[in-house]
Amino acid sequence: MQSGRRCGNPAVLECALPRHAAGAIDAPADTADAPRHCPPAASSGEWPMTGTAGPNTVIPVLDLGPVFAGEPGALEATAAELRRVCETVGFLYIRNHGVPQALIDATFDAAARFHAQPLEAKMALKLDDAMQGYLPYRSSTTRANGLVAVRKPNENEAFFVNPERDPAKPANRWPDSVPGFRETTLRYYAEMEALARRMLPLYARALDLPADFFDARCDAPLASLRLTHYPPVEYGADEYGIAPHTDSSFITLLAQNPVPGLQIRTQAGEWIDAPVIPGTYVVNTGDVLNRWSNGRFLSTPHRAVNMQPRARYAIPFFYHPNPETSLECLPTCTDAANPPRFPAQTVGEYMAWFRNSNYDHFRAKPAATAAV
């Protein structure tokens, strides 16, 4: 799998990089014969621009500093901006999030050291029914979204860290010979959970709900930290580091990665790069919030490819409400002319469906019922 550069033409990397760094338009993934990873640079002009967009990107940047400092009026002002972004883009960057950069760096380092182990050591921790452990290379296929017709396994391997608060659930299993791995990843997990919780009032106000609406519904959240490794491989047709998909989450928090590769699909159906903006997080709305809000907050398709001649790691944190929380349509997102569009499932039920659809491990065992 480690077969060197992926676009056989060395010019591809050179022509792709400047555009990718500028968040420009990519070719549709679904077009089987489209040139991949080096499309013509062209803007549709239809992409919604917002006043807070960074200099080189159409994905807005939201400053959380004022609201986290408790500045008067900041919650309402930031929530109004968040509402606009979630209704039109579904992806944003946040700055002044409060997560120490040293912890982010240490977590990337832990991910790299985990994946550098011999395959045998990783396979000893193979994914279990609680969706915890090691997901081997090319053993997940993005099926649950209807976004691409040809579905090949994703060109990545991953390790999942689950919450440790519930003694009834199997505990995380840890590698024996990756020093500090457990401590670092659990510390990062706790930091991510705290950040997501601090953001809940923003999402509540953005949806015209009382500021504490989500608090009790997310006090034992069904979150998961994923440590993904995208090796530098030669992609074939319809192959991706991770194929076009939407996240199942309420929100996903993705630490900035020194190696770019994330791309999002605009409402106009074009793929754009999410450029690296140091010190920020990428945050996106997932399917849970999309369903809960009756489609009002977008769950935007995205994908990742590793165009670099070196390994790429990603450490997304998928945040969900409590498993028993009902996703019955939020009261501010429906009226007589806009009836609920999605079943009032619980988060756990929705997650079980999503997981069974996407992970070969669970497809082989349709009776699996773990809720992560």
Ligand X SMILES: O=C(O)CCC(=O)C(=O)O
Binding site for ligand X (CB under 6 A): 226, 228, 242, 247, 254, 261-262, 302, 304, 314, 316
Contact between 180 and 110 under an 8 Å Cβ cutoff? The reply is yes
Q: Which two tokens stand for residue 342?
A: 């999605």
Handedness of CA 95, 69, 104, 100 (dihedral sign): positive
| Shortest distance, position 83 Cβ to Fe ion, whole Å | 22
State which residue has the least CB distance to ligand X: 314
> Residue 273 is inside which H or E element, if any?
strand 271-273
How far apart are CB 318 and ligand X at their closest, in Å? 7
Task: Say whether residue 247 binds Fe ion (CB under 5 A).
Answer: yes
Strand bridging mode 251-255 / 242-245 = unpaired
Closest approach of ligand X to the CB of residue 213, in Å: 26
Stretch that binds Fe ion, among 37-45, 204-212, 247-255, 344-352 (CB under 5 A): 247-255
Identify what 205 binds: Fe ion, ligand X, none; CB under 5 to 8 Å per kind.
none
Select the span of 46-54, 115-123, 246-254, 364-372 touching Fe ion (CB under 5 A). Answer: 246-254
Closest CB to Fe ion among residues 247, 287: 247
Is 287 a residue that touches Fe ion (CB under 5 A)?
no
Task: Give yes or no for a contact between 347 and 362, defined as CB atoms under 8 angstroms apart.
Answer: no
Q: Which does 261 bind (CB under 5 to 8 A by kind): ligand X, Fe ion, none?
A: ligand X
Least distance CB 199 / Fe ion (angstroms): 18
CB nearer ligand X, residue 185 or residue 294: 185
Of 32, 10, 42, 6, the closest CA to residue 271 belongs to 42
How far apart, in whole angstroms, are the C-alpha atoms of residue 19 and residue 343?
A: 41
State the DSSP code for 189.
H
User: Cβ 285 to ligand X, closest distance in Å?
Assistant: 13
Residue 78 burial (CB < 10 Å; 0-12/13-18/19+)?
buried
Cα distances (Å, whole numbers) of residue 40 to 34, 37, 103, 110, 271: 11, 10, 38, 37, 12
Pick what 304 binds: ligand X, Fe ion, none; C-beta below 5 to 8 Å, kind-dependent. ligand X
- Smallest gap from residue 164 Cβ to ligand X (A): 21
> CA 267 from chain center: how many Å?
18
Please, which residue, 81 or 247, has the CB nearer to ligand X?
A: 247
For residues 51 and 292, the answer to whether their CB atoms sit within 8 Å is no
Selection from ligand X, Fe ion, none that 161 binds (CB < 5 to 8 A by kind) is none
The footprint of Fe ion (CB under 5 A) covers: 247
